[in-house]
Structure 1
Amino acid sequence: MTLASSYPYRSSVINKGAFQFDFGVLYSVTGAAFDSEGTEVELEEETGYQLIDSSVRIDYGFNPNLQLGADVIFRQLESETTTDVISSSGIESFAVHAKYEGKGSRKNKYAFELSYRMTAYSNEYYLNRSDIPVSDDVNLGDDGQSILLSFLYDRVISRASHLEFSLAYHLPPNDLSAEIPYSLAYVYKGQTIAFAGGVEGIYSLGLDEFEQNPGDKPVSDFGVTSRYNSINRELMSVFGRLNLKLSNKYLLSGKVSQVMSGVSTDKATNFLVSLTYNAGGTSSSQTFENKFKEYSTEATIIKVSPRGVFFKLDKGLSSDVVKGARADIYKSDYFGENVLLGSGFIYESGPDWSIVKVVKKFKRLPIEKGYTVRIK
């Protein structure tokens, strides 16, 4: 398999039998916090919080519609108070994924993805903050298991642009309230470079049992941050993304996002860089076209009828092009493009010419003079 686009549809799955490896590094820094009422609260002077997540994900194309994968995240963080700087690091979580691509259409594409994640650690919780023992490290994040069910949708606007939308149901770790993650972006892509911009966020279903009495919620040492052990957390971010297709196997991506508003979370700035490597597998179109191979003769179209149903070739009986033989029509050029447009049969054949009648078309493209016809 190759990376056919500088910005693959989010709703698409990789080719059957293909392996895809994603290596990512996320840097996130806290600039302020949002309390349980959604009010922005500035950090104290000379305090701060930042983290780096390094991730590796492997996906496998199980069949033309199903993609299975797994990932692991390694986290490094630093929490700075007015008196001390505390660092922690370790494996944050493991996850498994399953993604199913629906039938969709040329303009509307969709998929469902289910993810299960489990942290590699567990935290200790206390009734009062004064009970938290002095330690040289802080928690890596919310502990426990989480389940995410996502609906992914792409609306094709043109060959170079599309809208990307997702809506999900999330059961977070640490018994936090169920929530609805969402995202909406506009994508413009060229042959090797693509740009995307949009909004993403989390809407809380407001089911936290401590919503009315936040002071009763057990506490733990997470450092100078509000992004963990939250109460009905919500956030909305704006983001921009740049993709660079390095080759048919490698894709480099960069993303910047800024949290603009939220509830019980951090006002964070995030920077993500990732590298995708894709190899192996056979696409549905390749499988389809393989059925039409093993030809005996190749000819060129020299004339097309006004309705495009019949056309004349530059070869005939002298080249073993006989009446009734199967003929497949391809659009070929000097740049290596080779697209199967349609199929038909030899309607009539002369010494050095023949007529093809089109029976079925596979692409909404006109058949033109100069195209290639391969005959079995």
Structure 2
Amino acid sequence: EILSDGTGPWDISAADATLDLVVDGGKDVFIMGAGSDAEVLPATISVAVADGTFANTAAATAAEIVDWLNADIGEVYEGEWDAAFSTRAIAYLDGGMVAIRSRNLGDFFSLQLLDSEVNIAVFGGTVGEDSDVQVVGGSTPSNRVYQYTVPADNDPKAAWTTGAITYPLDPVDDLAPGTYVASVEMADRGRVSMTDYQTPSVGWVTFQVGTATEQPLVADSCDKCHEGFVLDYPRHHKPFPNDAVDGCAACHDYQNRNATGEWSGGQPISRRTHAVHFGSSLNYPLTTVAHEETVAGRNWDITFPQDIRHCESCHSADSSGTWAINAARIPCSGCHDSDEATAHMDIMTWDPTPADPWSGDEEESCKACH
């Protein structure tokens, strides 16, 4: 999220004042509208102060600015929305400050405030300069919830009691309905080396957004083979219960960790899990697993103790079943890592103009054949 410079009020009364921003790397999003028509949700947005309701634009409050931004809903004209704030971003109050984040509809979640009057007045922008791109969470989104010696350094959202730490979420009403995961890790209280450490503690819980129906796990049989197993005690404690993917995916997701989208950070769990179980047969185990081989007591020369194609070993009949119907190159590349297989996956799913995904030069997806 991007926060305002203080709690206001602010003077946004300059003539023709706007807030200009770019979400998700500037990539427009295409959605299906009525019938078979496609609608475009632009990623570059400009919101005019003149369109808002303020008691006094020379002393605009945080609440007024939030209401002004979220009220910018836009209209469709010939299949394309005008660049409306609320179709791609959301504003809310966070500790009395104005907070903005992307609605994360693109492939790469990010937010950038451009050189504009409201950016300068409210968010501390510099005249004549766009603000830095903020990557939303990256591959390891986290908040530090321990108490600092200096109280001013504490996260203002965290509250501590003898038995619990409470941390309220940002607004979730714009998220797709489904099951979400919140995880906690106590991992920085005494590790000196790989042989002198205190084992971290981890845990996670699920919560529902927009539906009471809990989504089934994509893989639900970890404990069948890994009962009581914990990987990498010194660095961060990784237990393997049947819902282990929910815990691991908190960091090992599909998001990049920098503003250029060139570093995948924690590496997607779908690729890494398949790669580890097929390690002895990989062409490039360290690259495909995406980890050096010095995890204590482990290496990647692993042979699965049955036919690797017995997918039901991990994906039982009670799991989501998406593994069988959603062919995708990331999990497939966990086993198929030869030069030929990698080239095939790149060629058959490549879009040379990702900023214009409907330009007609796209290659077919995995599901077109598989």
Using the size of structure 2 for normalisation, the TM-score is: 0.25
Structure of higher CA gyration radius: 1
TM-score (norm 1): 0.25
User: Greater helix share, 1 or 2?
Assistant: 2
Instruction: Kindly indicate which of the two structures has a greater share of residues assigned to strand.
Output: 1
